[in-house]
Amino acid sequence: MLLMGEPLPIELMNTVWADRDGIHDALTDEFGAWVAAIGARAGVLELPAAASGASRSAKRLRTLRDAMRRLAAEQTSDPRDIAVDGTALSWAVATVNEAAAAAPAWTELEWPARRVTRTRAVSFAALEGLLAAQMIDLLTGEQRDDLRACLAPGCVLYFVKPRNRREWCSTGCGNRARAARHYQRHRSPA
Ligand SMILES: [Zn+2]
């Protein structure tokens, strides 16, 4: 399981990840652990991840994830093969909106001044709604221009680029990208 300290919608998008063995799906392989980790970070507790209905929940979350990846691909003009999956942009927008509408949330003030998000939705729908709402914030807020597809060889992840820093999702990808460029230069003399 790969958690990179990115905003939650990006953590969801990055449940699709790749290594030398190919492409993996953390929502298929480690659904319960992923939901528990993200639920805790989101402040959504008591998630019945491991209980019955987990496979249906996993399917819903995978659908939301695929819709978000479609939107991120559009926003970042993602040139990677994996970004072109043939799903319609309108489907992705509708899917995110549906998840957001299923768990209406509001903001409350706690004192000392702290912003908390409340919802009447329970458990899993609350998590989906929160992820969808944060994705909408991400695509419409200040961070929208910092959303990036990692273009290191073989990487399928997204990340938010800190201002003036970092072209890659991780130092590992940075090293691989530099090695690939080095190889290119020395293989094809000008
Ligand atoms: Zn990467």
- 71-120 pLDDT tens trace: 999 999 999 988 766 789 999 999 999 999 988 888 889 899 988 878 88
Question: What is the total count of domains within the chain?
Answer: 1
Domain CATH for 46: 1.10.3300.10
107 CA from centroid of ligand 1 (Å): 34
Give the model's confidence band at 52: pLDDT under 50 very low, under 70 low, under 90 confident, else very high. Answer: very low
Q: Is residue 1 part of a domain?
A: no
143 CA from centroid of ligand 1 (Å): 19
**More confident site: 125 or 15:** 15
Collect contacts of 157-164 with beta carbons under 8 A, ≥24 apart.
157/2, 157/4, 157/13, 157/14, 157/17, 158/6, 158/10, 158/13, 158/14, 158/69, 158/72, 158/76, 159/4, 159/6, 159/10, 159/14, 160/6, 160/7, 160/10
- 53-75 pLDDT tens trace: 578 889 999 999 999 999 999 99
Rounded to an integer, what distance in angstroms lies between the CA atom of residue 163 and that of residue 110? 30
Q: Is residue 69 part of a domain?
A: yes
Q: Is residue 3 part of a domain?
A: no
Domain that holds residue 113: 8-187
53 CA from centroid of ligand 1 (Å): 33
> Model's pTM, two decimal places?
0.87
Residues around the ion ligand 1 (C-beta < 5 A): 150, 152, 155, 157, 169, 173
